């Protein structure tokens, strides 16, 4: 069989340091809800509804939100595991699968993903070395070299090859399996790694180990991370930029200090104050929001958060707020009429009590 | 302290199968009436097993239980038949982690709560339904009347958890066991449920054992925290003492590893290694393989649980000894 | 928080849990089987029967075709004829041994063929999904709707008697059943994260199916197929009984049951012998299949 030779990563840094590694524009994905044959009005799950953001090179972008916000779907759209309904994606200045852009298979070497369920992410019939070596072999690396690289990666993620190389996934603990998943992602020598709730299912003590490992690897290999999580503490620790999603849309985005210190969207504030207090003398006295996160089927018109927002006003139903820059920081943007003096909201730009 | 509501004395639980796993090893715990105890630990710590043992939920044939369990003056291990049925739900009740799994999908939640009420008290259907509706309103389910006839799959996660709390409290138990009730919920829903539990506990005066791996959740709800590791209680104390000045290296490690807002930019102080294998526990302290302070004695002898007032500690080389004030 | 904590350790210090050396899945299954007394007993019985059938030309005491009207229906234990003679005076033991070759062949070959064909179709349908899956499964549902016996008889009847025709008929009966199992498992496996991870590696669909899906699908399909062995044997014998399979004077257990029918009133024990062998063989297959199923179901 004629296997193509394994070349160095074809997409070296082509765009230069100022070029964002990933630019996503107006990504949309709607899933049809299957009703009966007599249903006239088709219902759609608006999983991702116009998401745009960019990720600078060598930084970590955290994506937070609750169930139904669309963060996992966004990750899968970026990873090209499913096709978007509309929207564009530019990787290091080049489109993917477009005229003059990168071919999909080559693109796969640049972008890898670590999933939440460490056990379901590994083929139970293969040893972990075989799993790690599979990817490079698909791209033409000879088997012996792929195995050697797999051993080296195992050592790097903290699993001694002499002990672990021939193990099967069921013989490892959750934290160890997640290390294998990280090694598998690194085997491609990627530039962007998407971590989809990668540490959520781990014990706290193990979680800290894996987070340390991720930080080390990022510095060593100049990686860029997209870190999806529902745990606000972890996102605050690891991210440089944060994006908050609600019902398929981006409601706020910006540098991590701004988001955590000066959140400009009522939902972000509610989310931040919903985190349990660690101080027994200052326990939470009231819940910031009532009810459950809503269903992304046929979302409300205008601002989607208006049903639960303490500052809602008729203008919120009439006009959908767009992302507006906040104060003096251009990269900090929020989609709320309260920040826009021209919106017609009576409380716009006044000091808001959370 | 007056007679505690719950008293576990040298409780050991072993699961026998192809291998024997020691899930609990001489656990000593006490809980007074009206107190909330947070049980903190990771996988394999034995926290969920403790709750299930309190309700005698383990299969009889393959489980070996030793020691004593006293709840509200009753010897739980000696209960049989009707007495055991009344105990479950009437004296002690449980809220599970997955709200969807605790309900039978083919009956409405109202029916299931009514059934539970009638199993414990001899009242007729109408009165039981009225009580069930009252419970639903008490757990702050909006439009309770309509939701009474809803099926579990028609409710959202937060609603289901509230319904499960209603089910657990329907027979006014003296002790409520909560097994990670908020772990599967979103952040904004989690805080609602935690506040609800706190409020209900204050109203009814019941005792609660709240199992979690999330320290924040424990801080919000508990008066006291007991930290478990490898099937043993390693430290116990008032919540402020545990969180501010932990004595046991594992507790300290857990707190240090908890990502907070202060450690941004620095490596986390992670506890090395993995949780222990319950089928092959080390001879001495189960935390010794991962402990930086471990000595030869730690590896040979299991440290006993010593108590002083409201605090307890099982460690040969604690960070701060029990005798010292926190 | 106490400042004297020094708990950080370099990333490389992760202790391996003390355990036995890792073994591959099939090795573990094999060891489990060896410990199961039911599996051992059934296996032994099958080994005996298959051995006798395979080595029949060398082990059989007499010529299975040699008839003698004088020696008709001699009882069991007659000198020179250990299990007696049939209605045409042929030695029963030799006929049973030779008959085993055909009966076992007709039982095993269709299942093997269906296993291969069915897994391939099921993998395809399950992996591609969507409309293609629907078309394939609905077409097969038509066959699946008929009871196996009826379908086997109908196809056999249409094709005509003869061994190869009944082999074909039986294969056609079993393929839809195997496809159903294979497709169902493939659909489940396909949704797991490691398949998504494999897709993310840029591998072709063929590579993903070969490396990741096949290994996980073969197990459950194998269990199902071993359960089909006994059914196949009985169906094959049934077809021969009805005159649709093997033709006389070939020895075959089902056929022998038919030809010995008239002898029931004269010598019932002889007439029951082929039936007893069919019974024992299919029970042994069944028990073995059960043991394989439990061995493969090992708790991780």
Indicate the domain borders of chain C: 44-62+81-296
pLDDT at residue C163, as a whole number = 84
**Interchain contact, C15 vs B273, CB within 8 Å:** yes
> What CA–CA distance (Å, rounded) separates A290 from A308?
7
H or E element that contains C228: helix C214-241
Question: Span A225-232, mean pLDDT?
Answer: 92
- Which positions in chain B touch C6 (Cβ < 8 Å)? 292
Helix count (H) and strand count (E) of chain C?
12, 0
Q: Using 50, 70 and 90 to split pLDDT, how confident is the model at A248?
A: very high
* pLDDT over 90 (residue A256): yes
**b vs e for A88-115, b when ≥16 Cβ sit within 10 Å of the residue's Cβ?**
ebbbbeeebeeeebbeeebbbbbbbbbb
Q: Do C1 and B256 touch (CB under 8 A)?
A: yes
CB contact under 8 A, A121 and C193: yes
> Which of A308, A314, A228, A190 lies closest to A51, judged by CA?
A228
- Nearest by CB to residue B188, choosing from A205, A274, A285, is A274
Q: pLDDT confidence of C9, banded at 50, 70, 90?
A: very low
Q: Where are the alpha helices (DSSP H) in chain B?
A: 47-54, 81-86, 99-102, 109-120, 125-138, 144-147, 157-169, 187-204, 215-221, 239-244, 249-257, 296-300
Per the CB < 8 A criterion, the answer to whether B225 and B242 are in contact is: yes
Chain B CB contacts of A203 under 8 Å are 42-43, 213, 275
- Is any Cβ of chain C less than 8 angstroms from the Cβ of A164? yes
* Residue of A171, A174, A205 for testing the chain C interface, max C β-carbons within 10 Å: A171
Contact call for C14 and B274, based on CB within 8 A: yes
Torsion of CA B122, B127, B131, B136, to 10 degrees: 130
Q: Does C259 touch chain A (CB under 8 A)?
A: no
Q: Is residue B315 part of a domain?
A: no
CATH architecture classification, C44-62+81-296: Orthogonal Bundle (1.10)
For the CA atoms of B276, B279, B282, B283, the dihedral, rounded to the nearest 10 degrees, stands at 150
Higher model confidence: residue A294 or residue B112? Answer: B112
Kindly indicate the confidence band of residue C230, based on its pLDDT and cuts at 50, 70 and 90: confident
Q: From residue A232, how far is each of A235, B261, B266 by CA, in Å?
A: 5, 10, 17
Would you place residue A10 in the very low, low, confident or very high pLDDT band (cuts 50, 70, 90)?
very low
Q: Please compute the mean of the pLDDT values over residues A211-216 and round it to a whole number.
A: 93
Mutate to test the interface with A, among C20, C134, C200 (most CBs of A within 10 A): C200
- Are A237 and B264 in contact (CB < 8 Å)? yes
pLDDT at B293: 85
Q: Nearest CA of chain B to the CA of A238: how many Å?
A: 7
Give me chain A's average pLDDT, please. Answer: 86
Closest CA to A210 of A180, A166, A165: A180
Tell me: pLDDT of A233 over 50.
Answer: yes
Strand partners, B63: B15
**In chain A, which residue's Cα lies nearest the Cα of C10?**
A158
Residue whose token pair is 């299931």: B112
Question: What range defines the domain where residue B43 resides?
Answer: 6-282
Q: How many CA atoms lie within 13 A of B216 on its CB side?
A: 21
Write the DSSP symbol of residue B261.
S
Beta bridge partners, A94, equal A91
Segment C108-145, tens digit of pLDDT: 999 999 999 999 999 999 998 888 999 999 999 998 88
For residues B197 and B222, the answer to whether their CB atoms sit within 8 Å is no
Average pLDDT over residues B203-215: 92
pLDDT digits (tens, 9 = 90+) for B312-322: 999 988 888 88
C-alpha distance from B319 to closest chain C C-alpha (Å):
8
Instruction: State how far the Cα of B163 lies from the Cα of B100, in Å rounded to an integer.
Output: 10
Q: Are A70 and A244 in contact (CB under 8 A)?
A: no
The larger pLDDT score, comparing residue C173 to residue C4, is at: C173
| Interchain CB contact of A6 with B (< 8 Å) | no
Q: Which residue has the higher pLDDT, A334 or C86?
A: A334
C8 pLDDT band (50/70/90 cuts)? very low
The answer to whether A165 and A127 have CB atoms below 8 angstroms apart is: yes
C247-257 pLDDT, tens digit per residue, is 878 888 888 88
d(CA B301, CA B316): 9
End-to-end Cα separation, chain B, in angstroms: 21
Q: Cβ neighbours of residue A230 under 8 Å, at least 6 residues apart? A: A64, A65, A66, A197, A200, B186, B187
Across the range C293-300, mean pLDDT stands at 68
**Average pLDDT of the segment spanning A70-74:** 92
Cα A197 to Cα A228: distance, rounded to the nearest angstrom: 5
Segment A288-304 mean pLDDT? 83
Contact check, Cβ <8 Å, B267/C17: no
Tens of pLDDT, residues B228-238: 999 999 999 99
Q: Do B191 and A290 contact (CB within 8 A), yes or no?
A: no
Contact B70, B7 (CB under 8 A): yes
Q: Does C69 touch chain B (CB under 8 A)?
A: no
Residue B325 confidence (pLDDT):
66
Give the start-end residues of each E strand in chain C.
none
Q: Does residue C81 carry a pLDDT above 90? A: no
A352 pLDDT exceeds 70?
no
Separation between Cα atoms, residue A175 and residue A211, nearest integer Å: 11
- A164/C16 touch (CB, cutoff 8 Å), yes or no: yes
Model pLDDT, residue B274: 81
Return the biggest CA–CA distance within chain A. 71
Nearest to A51 by CA among A84, A27, A72: A27
Confidence at residue C14, expressed as pLDDT on a 0 to 100 scale: 43
Burial A220-250 (b: 16+ CB within 10 A, else e): eeebbbbbbbbbbbbbbbbbbbbbbbbbbbb
Are A168 and A147 in contact, with CB atoms under 8 Å apart? no
What is the model's pLDDT at position A4? 45
ipTM greater than 0.90: no
The answer for A 268-297 residues in CB contact with B (under 8 A) is 270-271, 274-281, 283-293
- A234 and B259 within 8 Å at the Cβ level: the answer is yes
Amino acid A32: pLDDT: 84
DSSP per position, B17-65: SSSEEEEEEEEEEEE-TT-EEEEE--TTSSHHHHHHHHTT-S-TTTEEE
Instruction: Say yes or no to pLDDT of C2 above 60.
Output: no
**Averaged pLDDT, C177-183:** 94
Buried b / exposed e over A197-215, threshold 16 CB at 10 Å, is bbbebbbbbbbbbbbbbbb
- pLDDT above 60 (res C299): no
Nearest to B270 among A205, A276, A279 (CB): A205
β-strands A224-229, B311-313 pairing: unpaired
**What is the rounded distance in angstroms from the CA atom of residue C85 to the CA atom of residue B251?**
84
Asked if B261's CB is within 8 angstroms of A260's CB, the reply is yes
pLDDT at residue C21 greater than cutoff 60: no
Q: How far apart are CA A84 and CA A77, in angstroms?
A: 6
pLDDT at C15: 43
Q: Is residue C130 within 8 angstroms of chain A, CB to CB?
A: no
| CA-angle at B68, arms to B5 and B238, nearest 5° | 45
pLDDT (0 to 100) of residue C300: 41
The confidence score (pLDDT) of residue C26 equals: 76
Average pLDDT, chain C: 84
Question: Do C253 and C260 form a contact (C-beta atoms < 8 A)?
Answer: no
- C197: distance to nearest CA of chain A, Å? 7
Q: The whole model's pTM is what?
A: 0.84
Q: Provide CB contacts within 8 A for A36, sequence distance 6+.
A: none
Cβ-in-10-Å burial (0-12, 13-18, 19+) of B264 comes to: middle
- Report d(CA B82, CA B120) in Å as an integer: 10
Mean pLDDT of B217-228: 93
What's the rounded Cα separation, in Å, for the pair C95 and C91? 6
Q: Give percent of chain B with pLDDT exceeding 90.
A: 50
Minimum distance, in Å, between the CA of residue C129 and any CA atom of chain B = 27
pLDDT band for A197, please (50, 70, 90 cuts).
very high
- In which element (H, E) is residue A88 found? strand A86-91
Residues of C in contact with A170 (CB under 8 A): 300
**A344: closest CA of chain B, how far (Å):** 29
Any chains having at least 3 CB pairs less than 8 A from chain C are A, B
User: Which residue of chain C comes nearest to B17, CA vs CA?
Assistant: C299
Average pLDDT, chain B: 89
Contact across the interface for C7 and B269, Cβ inside 8 Å: yes
CATH number of B111's domain? 3.40.50.300
Q: Write out the DSSP string of C141-185.
A: HHHHTS-HHHHHHHHHHHH-SSHHHHHHHHHHHHHHHHHHHHHHH
In this structure, the number of other CB atoms found within 10 A of the CB of residue A6 comes to 15
Q: Is A149 on the interface with C (CB under 8 A)?
A: no
Q: Minimal Cα distance from A267: which residue of B?
A: B188
CA distance B263 to chain A (A): 7
Which helix H or strand E contains A32, and what residues bound it? strand A22-33
d(CA B255, CA B243) in angstroms, rounded, equals 7
* Ranges A100-109, A244-253, B203-212, C61-70: which has the least confidence: A100-109
Give me the half-sphere count of Cα atoms (radius 13 Å) on the Cβ side of residue A115. 19
> Rounded distance, CA B222 to CA B228, Å?
15
Maximum average pLDDT range among A127-136, A336-345, B273-282? A127-136
Chain A, 70 to 129: residues with Cβ < 8 Å from chain C are 76, 79, 81, 104-109, 111-113, 115-117, 120-127
- The three-state DSSP-derived secondary structure of C15-53 is CCCCCCCCCCHHHHHHHHHHCCHHHHHHHHHHHHHHHHH
Which H/E stretch holds residue B313? strand B311-313
Q: Which of residues 301-330 of A touch B (CB under 8 A)?
A: none
Separation between Cα atoms, residue B10 and residue B53, nearest integer Å? 13
């Amino acid at each position: 069989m004629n296997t193509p030779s394994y070349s160095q990563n074809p997409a070296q840094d082509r765009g230069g340091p100022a070029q964002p590694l990933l630019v996503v524009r107006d990504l949309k994905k709607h899933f049809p809800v299957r009703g009966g044959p007599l249903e006239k009005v088709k219902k759609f799950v608006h999983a991702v509804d116009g998401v745009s953001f960019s990720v600078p090179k060598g930084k970590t972008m955290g994506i937070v939100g609750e169930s139904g916000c669309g963060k996992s779907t966004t990750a899968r759209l970026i990873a090209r595991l499913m096709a978007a309904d509309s929207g564009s994606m530019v990787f290091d200045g080049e489109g993917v699968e477009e005229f003059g852009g990168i071919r999909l298979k080559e693109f796969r070497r640049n972008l890898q993903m670590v999933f939440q369920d460490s056990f379901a992410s590994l083929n139970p019939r293969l040893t972990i070395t075989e799993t790690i070596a599979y990817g490079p072999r698909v791209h033409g690396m000879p088997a012996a070299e792929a195995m050697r690289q797999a051993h080296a990666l195992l050592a790097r993620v903290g699993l001694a090859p002499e002990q672990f190389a021939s193990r099967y996934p069921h013989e490892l603990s959750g934290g160890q399996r997640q290390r294998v998943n990280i090694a598998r992602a690194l085997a491609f020598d990627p530039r962007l790694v998407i971590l989809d709730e990668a540490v959520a299912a781990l014990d706290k003590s193990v979680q800290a180990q894996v987070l340390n490992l991720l930080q080390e690897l990022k510095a060593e290999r100049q990686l860029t991370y997209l870190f999806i999580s529902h745990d606000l503490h972890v996102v605050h620790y690891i991210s440089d930029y944060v994006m908050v999603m609600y019902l398929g849309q981006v409601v706020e985005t910006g540098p991590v200090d701004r988001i955590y210190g000066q959140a400009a969207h009522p939902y972000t504030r509610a989310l931040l104050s919903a985190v349990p207090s660690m101080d027994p003398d200052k326990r939470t006295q009231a819940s910031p929001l009532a009810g459950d996160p809503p269903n992304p089927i046929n979302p409300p018109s205008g601002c989607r958060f208006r049903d639960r927002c303490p500052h809602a006003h008729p203008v919120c139903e009439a006009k959908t707020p767009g992302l507006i820059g906040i104060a003096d920081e251009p990269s900090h943007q929020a989609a709320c009429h309260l920040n826009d003096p021209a919106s017609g909201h009576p409380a716009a730009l006044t000091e808001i009590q959370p | 302290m007056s007679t505690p509501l719950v008293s576990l004395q040298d409780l050991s639980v072993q699961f026998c199968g192809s291998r024997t796993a020691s899930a609990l090893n001489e656990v000593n715990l006490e809980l007074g009436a009206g107190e909330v105890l947070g049980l903190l630990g990771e996988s394999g710590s034995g926290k969920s097993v403790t709750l299930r043992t309190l309700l005698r939920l383990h299969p009889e044939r393959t489980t070996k239980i030793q020691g004593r369990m006293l709840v509200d003056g009753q010897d739980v291990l000696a209960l049989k038949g009707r007495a055991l049925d009344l105990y479950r739900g009437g004296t002690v009740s449980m809220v599970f982690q997955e709200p969807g799994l605790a309900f039978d999908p083919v009956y409405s939640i109202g029916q299931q709560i009514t059934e539970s009420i009638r199993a414990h008290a001899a009242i007729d259907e109408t009165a039981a339904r009225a009580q069930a509706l009252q419970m639903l309103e008490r757990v702050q389910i909006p439009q309770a009347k309509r939701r009474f006839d809803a099926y579990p799959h028609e409710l959202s996660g937060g609603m289901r958890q509230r319904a499960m709390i209603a089910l657990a409290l329907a027979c006014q138990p003296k002790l409520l066991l909560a097994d990670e009730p908020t772990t599967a919920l979103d952040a904004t829903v989690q805080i609602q449920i935690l506040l609800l539990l706190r409020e209900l506990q204050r109203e009814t005066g019941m005792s609660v054992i709240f199992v979690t791996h999330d320290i924040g959740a424990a801080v919000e709800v508990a008066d006291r925290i007991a930290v478990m590791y490898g099937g043993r209680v390693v430290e116990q104390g008032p919540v402020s003492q545990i969180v501010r000045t932990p004595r046991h290296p594992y507790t300290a490690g857990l707190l240090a590893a908890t990502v907070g807002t202060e450690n941004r930019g620095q490596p986390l102080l992670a506890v090395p290694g993995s949780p222990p294998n319950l089928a092959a526990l080390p001879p001495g302290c189960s935390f010794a393989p991962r402990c930086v302070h471990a000595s030869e004695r730690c590896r040979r002898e299991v440290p006993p649980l010593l108590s002083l007032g409201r605090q307890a500690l099982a460690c040969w080389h604690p960070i701060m000894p029990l005798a010292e004030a926190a | 928080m106490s400042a004297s904590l020094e708990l950080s350790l370099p990333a490389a210090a992760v202790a391996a849990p003390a355990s036995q050396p890792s073994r591959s899945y099939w090795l573990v299954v094999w060891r489990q089987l060896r410990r199961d007394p039911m599996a051992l007993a059934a296996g032994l019985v099958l080994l005996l029967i298959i051995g006798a059938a395979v080595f029949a030309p060398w082990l059989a005491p007499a010529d299975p075709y040699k008839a003698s009207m004088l020696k008709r229906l001699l009882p069991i234990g007659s000198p020179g004829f250990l299990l007696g003679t049939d209605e045409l005076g042929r030695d029963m033991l030799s006929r049973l041994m030779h008959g085993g070759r055909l009966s076992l062949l007709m039982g095993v070959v269709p299942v093997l063929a269906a296993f291969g064909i069915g897994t391939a179709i099921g993998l395809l349908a399950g992996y591609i999904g969507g409309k293609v899956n629907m078309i394939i499964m609905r077409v097969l549902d038509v066959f699946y709707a008929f009871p196996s016996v009826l379908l086997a008889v109908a196809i056999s009847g249409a094709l005509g008697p003869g061994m190869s025709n009944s082999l074909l008929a039986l294969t056609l009966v079993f393929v839809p059943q195997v496809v159903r199992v294979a497709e169902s498992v493939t659909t489940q496996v396909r949704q797991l994260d490691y398949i998504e991870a494999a897709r993310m590696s840029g591998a072709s669909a063929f590579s993903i199916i070969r490396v990741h899906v096949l290994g996980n699908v073969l197990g459950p399909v194998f269990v199902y197929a071993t359960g089909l062995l006994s059914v196949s044997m009985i169906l094959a014998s049934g077809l021969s009984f009805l005159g649709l399979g093997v033709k006389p004077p070939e020895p075959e257990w089902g056929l022998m049951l038919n030809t010995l029918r008239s002898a029931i009133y004269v010598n019932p024990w002889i007439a029951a012998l082929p039936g007893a062998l069919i019974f024992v063989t299919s029970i042994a297959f069944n028990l073995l299949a059960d043991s394989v199923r439990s061995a493969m179901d090992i708790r991780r």
